[in-house]
Amino acid sequence: IGHVRITQFNEPTAQELDQKLNELQGRGMQALIVDLRYNPGGLLTSAVDVSGLFLPARTMVVYTEGRDASQRREYFTSKNQKQRPNFPMVLLVNSGSASGSEILAGALKDLNRAILVGDTTFGKGSVQSVIQLPDGSALRLTTAKYYTPSKQVIHEKGVTPNIKASLTADQERALLLRHRDGLLSPDEQKFVNDQKDPQMDRAVDALKGAMIYNQNDKQSQATQQ
């Protein structure tokens, strides 16, 4: 089971992830966990490109819709996208997963490409226009909202996981320490080692079940042939 963590969606994120997936598949990866916990988002185009690593070419990932029909805009994976093998996959999400994380999670969940494990995401999915006022201040106006492929609104709703799994306060703190750059103090390291990660454990259990199912299905097909 491969494991990658995406901290935010920047311009090179899809390319870097593509390289990492090539390495993991070269080492025999049969399933994948993508950790999006506390990922605040980033570039919309990057989230769409990352989605394209796991979906067929020209697949709609997300769309915007407002009161005006002209505000409808659809975002698709590249028409030249090379699809990877359809290995079992889990996305780890929590209330700190926002914006681009929710676009990726919503698309892969709706299109049955990945299982979501964790807590409901933050719910940040609006398109805003800034109107400058004469006194130098500005008005920020929401003009459209983002929707997943199955027409589920993201803003203020978030994306709900397939498998609900929450962390205690201590487990949350340990997770943040694991994600922190730099060395931990001896006390912090001991604290982290003593804390479990139930969300990761549920993800691993889900993938093990999917891998066994896939193996049995292949054996059944071979027997029929």
**How big is the CA angle at 152 (ends 117 and 197), to the nearest 5 degrees?**
10
DSSP-derived secondary structure for the chain? -EEEE---B-TTHHHHHHHHHHHHHHTT---EEEE-TT---B-HHHHHHHHHTTS-TT-EEEEEE-SSGGG-EEEE--TTPPPPP---EEEEE-TT--THHHHHHHHHHHTTS-EEEES------EEEEEEE-TTS-EEEEEEEEEE-TTS-B-TTT----SEE----HHHHHHHHHHHSSSPPPHHHHHHHHH---HHHHHHHHHHHHHHHHHHHHHHHHHHH-
217 is catalytic: no
Q: Looking at the DSSP assignment, which residues form a beta bridge with residue 139?
A: 131
User: Which of 35, 49, 110, 119 is flagged as catalytic?
Assistant: 110
Q: Looking at the DSSP assignment, which residues form a beta bridge with residue 117?
A: 92, 163
User: Which of 51, 97, 109, 124 is flagged as catalytic?
Assistant: 124
99 is catalytic: yes
Q: Looking at the DSSP assignment, which residues form a beta bridge with residue 146?
A: 64
Q: Which positions are annotated as active-site residues?
A: 99, 110, 124
